[in-house]
């Protein structure tokens, strides 16, 4: 009987057509139009990010009511002001005494409340330019700064990432650089390293110090990662950590080996420009971290992209939990009845023949479809 289970594997495709939506955090301006070809570093949209707001309790500081404040104002809404400039002042005792309220920053008077007498001074807006992130064709472009780009790429999804986006040249290293000499010749800001070897706290710290843009590994210890980030991280949702290094893990936490298939694909695009995004969201609206590079070979509609599919006897699977994590095997049988597994609990299982390990009973929930390694 053909198993009807659904297994949500991660993508590792040498050549696949993808689309990515590029969206500003605020309403902005689109800089490209449909049909345009863009490189990864081309600005596709721009916006002014609102400057920091500085509330000033003007009425309270002057000791007047909000109504009385109106007569004491020396500026008006939307007027530019400088730090220390008088915003409002009153004179008392026939001019012998003066009270004034000054601006805490350079900025613009955003609002003067007639209800509370509070003024809000806004610092100057900062400009944000949104890059394309991947080279491709613009297939949709709203006027307010939302752009969709399509491209044929190689795509590797990770299981977890931190540190946002980066672009650069992908370089394979056998051992992670840690000493000064190891970094010689690397242009950190444009370098993304990958290795089979798990990351460590020392390695991540060294890469950050040398401004390496990104690192792709099979795994890292959760404790090391949190120590590096300087705070506890919730792996269910990441992307804006500002930790100085974009990290993508292809397997998870601990000392888990990178899948051969993943390493092989990364090796084939090594030396070329890639885009990496470490953002991860495990809940609805799932986002997985990714490495996007130039396509390898021709795109094929039957390209065995490992996303999800029904599994049957003979299909390849990868174990993603427990002592056999990362092992590849082939399904020998699919028992219909629930079985007792190693924990003593009951589960639907596959009987899997694992290379060099023999036949094992594996819970169906603990495998991902795989075409090898």
Site stretch for another protein (CB under 8 A), options 53-61, 75-83, 202-210, 268-276: 53-61
Q: Is 320 in the site for another protein (CB under 8 A)?
A: yes
Q: Is 354 in the site for another protein (CB under 8 A)?
A: no
Looking at beta carbons only, is 96 or 336 nearer to another protein?
336
Binders of another protein among 120-179, rule CB under 8 A?
Answer: 120, 122, 159-160
Q: Which of 12, 331, 360, 370 binds another protein (CB under 8 A)?
A: 360
Among 45, 64, 204, 362, binds another protein (CB under 8 A): 362
Near another protein by CB under 8 A: residue from 36, 308, 330, 373: 308
Q: According to the binding rule CB under 8 A, does residue 15 interact with another protein?
A: no
Is 4 an interacting residue with respect to another protein (CB under 8 A)? Answer: yes
- CB neighbourhood size of 240 (10 A): 10
Q: To which residue do tokens 């991280």 refer?
A: 233
Residue 215 beta carbon to another protein: minimum distance, rounded to whole angstroms: 17
Select from 63, 84, 202, 254 the one that contacts another protein (CB under 8 A). 254
| Under 8 Å between Cβ of 197 and 176 | yes
CA-CA distances (angstroms) from residue 248 to 17, 28, 225, 364?
21, 30, 12, 26
Query: 118: buried, middle or exposed (CB in 10 Å: 19+, 13-18, 0-12)?
Result: middle
Q: Is 70 one of the binding residues for another protein (CB under 8 A)?
A: no
Nearest to 166 by CA among 125, 215, 129: 215
d(CA 230, CA 351): 43
Q: Is 344 exposed, middle or buried (0-12, 13-18, 19+ CB in 10 A)?
A: exposed
> Mask: binding to another protein, 202-241, rule CB under 8 A, as x and -?
-------------------xxx--x-----xxxxx---x-
> Among residues 171, 159, 165, 225, which one has the least CA distance to residue 195?
171
Query: Measured from the CB of residue 46, what is the shortest distance to another protein in angstroms?
Result: 17
User: Distance between the two ends of the chain, CA-based, in angstroms?
Assistant: 26
Q: Any contact of residue 25 with another protein (CB under 8 A)?
A: yes
- Which of 85, 111, 137, 172 is in the footprint of another protein by CB under 8 A? 111
What is the SS3 assignment for 229? helix
Residue selected from 93, 286, 301, 302 as contacting another protein according to rule CB under 8 A: 286
Q: Cβ-count burial of 109 within 10 angstroms (0-12 exposed, 13-18 middle, 19+ buried)?
A: buried
Distance CA 270, CA 276 (A): 13
Shortest distance, position 294 Cβ to another protein, whole Å? 23
**Bridge partners of residue 45, in order along the sequence:** 30, 130
Rounded Cα distance, 355 and 260, in Å = 14
- Residues near another protein (CB under 8 A), total: 70
Task: Answer yes or no: are the C-beta atoms of 347 and 335 closer than 8 Å.
Answer: no
Among 282, 296, 313, 354, binds another protein (CB under 8 A): 282
Helices 222-229 & 201-209 angle (0-180, nearest 10): 30
| Near another protein by CB under 8 A: residue from 294, 304, 322, 373 | 322
Q: Which residues within the stretch 189-208 sit at the binding site for another protein (CB under 8 A)?
A: none
Q: What distance in Å separates the CA atoms of residue 103 and residue 85, rounded to the nearest whole number? A: 5
Could you list the residues that contact another protein (CB under 8 A)? 1, 4-8, 23, 25-27, 50, 52-55, 57, 59-60, 66, 110-111, 113, 115-118, 120, 122, 159-160, 221-223, 226, 232-236, 240, 252-254, 280, 282-286, 307-308, 320-323, 336, 340-347, 360-363, 365-366
């Amino acid at each position: 009987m053909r198993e009807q289970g659904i297994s949500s594997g991660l993508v590792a495709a040498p050549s696949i057509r993808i689309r990515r939506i590029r969206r500003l955090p605020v309403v902005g301006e689109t800089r490209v139009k449909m049909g345009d070809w863009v490189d990864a570093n081309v600005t596709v949209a721009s916006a002014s990010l609102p400057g920091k707001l500085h509330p000033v309790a003007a009425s309270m500081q002057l000791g007047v009511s909000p109504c009385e404040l109106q007569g004491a104002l020396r500026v008006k809404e939307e007027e530019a002001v400088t730090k220390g400039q008088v915003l409002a002042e009153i004179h008392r005792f026939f001019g012998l005494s003066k009270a004034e309220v000054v601006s805490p920053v350079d900025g613009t008077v955003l609002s003067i409340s007639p209800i509370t007498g509070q003024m809000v001074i806004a610092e100057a807006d900062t400009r944000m330019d949104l890059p394309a992130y991947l080279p491709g064709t613009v297939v949709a472009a709203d006027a307010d700064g939302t752009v969709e780009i399509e491209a044929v790429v190689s795509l590797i999804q990770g299981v977890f990432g931190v540190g946002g986006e980066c672009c650069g040249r992908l370089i394979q290293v056998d051992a992670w650089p840690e000493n000064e000499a190891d970094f010689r010749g690397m242009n950190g800001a444009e370098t993304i390293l990958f290795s089979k070897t798990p990351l460590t706290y020392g390695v991540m710290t060294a890469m950050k110090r040398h401004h390496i843009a990104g690192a792709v590994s099979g795994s890292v210890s959760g404790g090391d990662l949190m120590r590096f980030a300087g705070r506890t991280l919730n792996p269910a949702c990441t992307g804006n950590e500002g930790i100085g290094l974009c990290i993508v893990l292809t397997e998870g936490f601990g000392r888990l080996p990178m899948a051969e298939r993943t390493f092989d694909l990364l090796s084939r695009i090594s030396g070329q420009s890639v885009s990496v995004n470490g953002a991860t969201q495990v809940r609805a609206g799932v986002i997985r971290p990714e490495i996007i590079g130039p396509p390898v070979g021709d795109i094929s509609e039957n390209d065995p992209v490992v996303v999800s599919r029904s599994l049957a006897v003979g299909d390849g699977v990868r174990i993603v939990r427990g002592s056999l994590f990362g092992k590849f095997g082939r399904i020998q049988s699919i028992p219909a009845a629930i079985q007792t597994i190693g924990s003593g609990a009951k589960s639907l299982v596959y009987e899997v023949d694992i290379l060099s390990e023999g036949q094992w009973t594996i819970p169906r929930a603990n495998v991902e479809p795989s075409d090898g390694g």
